[in-house]
A and B are shown apart, each in its own frame.
Chain A
């Protein structure tokens, strides 16, 4: 197996992008990553596109072939990878394995989703199609609803409070306001969404006990990376970022069939695999991008990946340990909560953000000092398919 590095990274601002088609967004992000890698007119051997909903939302299938055509990557191999909200991570994994195996040298991985094309009513249904078709979907359950039921159990078992969730929400939205690629561009005011009597109007219950600002927005967006063998990456102008470890694990489709529904086993297993392969441990990580589609998930994942003991994640967030400048900065990009969550894009966007961090090229107010290693967690379904990546700066 060959060592594989990220040599190009790019994304377009997430948000509501009425003027762009899905293909526009995938193309724009791809060109940014290819230009960042300094590929010029050169092509790639293969392209992997992470996307969950083009068939349902745009009535368009086989988008990887379409992208190869638009970018004139012809005759590169092209595949679309669908794995729910972990489609982006799965696309990166496919690219990684293809290069590591020696089969391809230069691979483009792009993730994208255009969710605002349909009403919120339709988008909610689209995301809910990943629930169990007989045992869950007919009841009208949504992903926020699954998160609400999970939060209730987590609160009862570990004493997580709304105040802990609020800390995540405020932190990520504050950081998102500094990120030009983020969907949500304003910091939140604690008083307005929590303390004041108007808070119930500004921040109503969305999926009890979760409130509106515990949820990520519904976004359009795309992100891309170019990867190649580390040996070939050393001749390039920007410092390569090594994909030092990768892991993936699955769990039962429904929460109720897990022995302990608060135990996100797939997160633990995927992350352990990634750490083992990278020969690193949680305390070695400089900066992490976790899958905070709901504030509770950032807290639960921060425990399951090994940054904090079970039951300590909420308190750690409230104590500022996961803030920029804290013990382990989590979601400096703003996370899904503020960067946005165009489902197929997220797993790639997390790696783009960590790449920027490890190349030390972000503005001072977002650059984690001397960042050497990063962790990403891309969470599919309700934790039934999870991918983790450990990335490492390579000195030239």
Chain B
């Protein structure tokens, strides 16, 4: 079963600016009250990379990572389901999902994954 994307973004109640991650004061107007919003729909890939020198805690050979913008303008980082960057381009649509992104202390840690659409 597909898991819900467990990210909460924060929309400023005064100026409407969308934040992810959380800030105590709006980056636009310094207001302190926000509506909690969920990322909606598919996302558009803003930038990406593939890294071959992985940090401690990852034992695969490489990781494809990018930042994407959801249809309701929430922007977030995630791992991209791709074998190489050759199949990616800035502006393409990616389908988000909430899946294990790493293992810590023997437990799966969940996070955003993006699947490129042809």
Contact (Cβ within 8 A) A208 B21: no
Tell me which of A124, A139, A148, A261 contacts B101 (CB under 8 A).
A139
Contact (Cβ within 8 A) A156 B49: no
Report chain A residues within 8 Å CB of B48: 149, 152
What is the bound-complex CA distance between A156 and B111, given in angstroms?
28
Contact (Cβ within 8 A) B47 A142: no
Contact (Cβ within 8 A) A141 B77: yes
Q: A103 interface residue, CB < 8 Å from B?
A: no
Q: Using a Cβ–Cβ cut-off of 8 Å, how many residues does chain A contribute to the interface with B?
A: 38
- Closest A residue to B56 by beta carbon equals A125
What is the bound-complex CA distance between A156 and B91, given in angstroms?
12
Q: A363 interface residue, CB < 8 Å from B?
A: no
Contact (Cβ within 8 A) A255 B53: no
Contact (Cβ within 8 A) A261 B109: no
Q: Mark A84-123, 1 if CB is under 8 A from B, else 0.
A: 0000000000000000000000000000000000011110
Q: A145 interface residue, CB < 8 Å from B?
A: yes
Partner-binding segment picked from A2-10, A167-175, A199-207: A199-207
Known: A149-B49, A153-B47, A254-B21. A135 touches B76 (CB 8 A): yes
What is the bound-complex CA distance between A144 and B55, given in angstroms?
11
Interface size class of B (residues with CB under 8 A): 20 to 34
- Closest A residue to B57 by beta carbon equals A125
Contact (Cβ within 8 A) B51 A261: no
Report chain B residues within 8 Å CB of A255: 67
Contact (Cβ within 8 A) B53 A144: yes
What is the bound-complex CA distance between A121 and B58, given in angstroms?
9
How many whole Å from B105's CB to the nearest CB in chain A?
13
Report chain B residues within 8 Å CB of A125: 55-57
Q: Mark B25-66, 1 if CB is under 8 A from A, else 0.
A: 001000000000000000000111111111111100001011
Contact (Cβ within 8 A) A142 B77: no
What is the bound-complex CA distance between A204 and B61, given in angstroms?
14
Interface hub of B20, B53, B85 (most chain A Cβ within 10 A):
B53
Q: Chain B residues in contact with chain A, CB under 8 A?
A: 19-21, 27, 46-58, 63, 65-67, 75-79, 85, 90, 101-102, 109, 111-112
Question: What 7 new A-B contacts, CB under 8 Å, besides A132-B21, A207-B49?
Answer: A121-B54, A128-B55, A135-B20, A142-B53, A149-B66, A253-B21, A256-B77
